[in-house]
Amino acid sequence: MIEMHDVWKTYPNGVMALNGIDIHIEKGEFVYVVGPSGAGKSTFIKCMYRQEKPTKGNIIINGRSLIKVKERHIPFVRRQVGVVFQDFKLLPKLSVYENVAFALEVIEESPKVIRKRVMEVLDLVGLKNKARFLPDELSGGEQQRVSIARSIVNKPPVLIADEPTGNLDPETAWGIMDVFEEIGTRGTTIVMATHNKEIVNTVKKRVIAIDGGRISRDELRGNYGYEI
């Protein structure tokens, strides 16, 4: 489902964030990406939905190359990938409902389908009764759940998340993790960069460790593996 072939990324300021990444992630897999701060995890994630373009190498998602794609086709590749951001990236002036519906309006779904799908995912993340709220009126954990709802509402085959539990207290973090597991059981491929040792060591999944822009470890049912 996700393939990276010899991916390199050097930022314009000369920082070499990724130095030859090769990876193969199967459909339906749940993968943690771990590593020390500055290791290149976010860069790795950003390359997967073309927020950053690799300097070298190829990335293939669901059979489509992210590198050879024409500029104007990028939006269509992005629709294959749901993204959960650490800082949520919700539109502050739109209600919870509108924020989630937005991802469907973009692909020109019919209003009827939009209504149905949005209420379904809001139900899934447990926010059905707060659909009319503005993001500012929600707690951090709730905002993160809106962000998750938006990322999956158009049923993308791949879901990626950069530290989705980073700013949340342990209990809320576990709530978010439950939602991810639920989404994972439906066949979505999930890639999640995280610093949450407890979650990684408890809910055993494949662990890819990145250090200095290289893959230092790749284990099925792995551990977090190092102290923060």
Partner 1 sequence: MKFRTLGRHIKEGFKSLGRNGWMSFASISAVTVTLLLVGVFLVLLLNINAIASQIEDDVEIRVYLEKTSEEPQHQELQQQLEGIEEVSSVKYVPKEEGLQELIDSLGDEGKVFQSLEDENPLPDAFAVKTERPQDTPLVADEIETLDYVSEVRYGQGTVERLFKITDTARNVGLVLIVGLLFTAMFLIANTIKITIVSRGTEIEIMKLVGATNGFIRWPFFVEGILLGVLGSLIPIGILIFAYQFIYEAVSMNLNTILFQLLPVYPLMFQLAGLLVIIGAFIGVWGSMTSVRKFLKV
Ligand X SMILES: Nc1ncnc2c1ncn2[C@@H]1O[C@H](COP(=O)(O)OP(=O)(O)OP(=O)(O)O)[C@@H](O)[C@H]1O
Binding residues for partner 1 (CB under 8 A): 49, 51, 72, 75-76, 78-79, 83, 89-91, 93, 102-103, 105-108, 110-111, 150, 154
Binding segment for ligand X (CB under 6 A), chosen from 39-47, 134-142, 180-188, 198-206, is 39-47
Least distance from Mg ion to the Cβ atom of residue 47, Å: 13
State the binding partner of 35 from Mg ion, ligand X, partner 1, none, CB within 5 to 8 A by kind: ligand X
38 belongs to the binding site for ligand X (CB under 6 A): yes
Contact of 183 with 214, CB cutoff 8 Å: no
Binding residue count for ligand X, defined by CB under 6 A: 12
Other CB atoms within 10 Å distance of the CB of residue 27:
12
How far is Cα 117 from Cα 152, in angstroms, rounded to an integer? 10
Which amino acid, 69? V
Q: Which is nearer to partner 1, 9 or 205 (CB)?
A: 9
CB distance 68 to 15 below 8 Å: no
How is residue 176 written in tokens? 């978010």
Mask of contacts with ligand X, 8-37, x by CB under 6 A?
---x-x-x-x-----------------x-x
- What mask of x and - would describe binding to Mg ion in positions 31 to 60, judged by CB under 5 A? -----------x------------------
Q: Which of 30, 40, 189, 208 binds ligand X (CB under 6 A)?
A: 40
Count other Cβ atoms within 10 Å, centred on residue 46. Answer: 18
C-beta of 148 vs 209, nearer to partner 1? 148
Half-sphere exposure at residue 73, Cβ-oriented, CA atoms within 13 angstroms: 8
C-alpha span between 68 and 87 (Å, rounded): 29
Residue type, 194: T
Q: Which residue has the tokens 């409902």?
A: 97
Binding region for Mg ion (CB under 5 A): 42
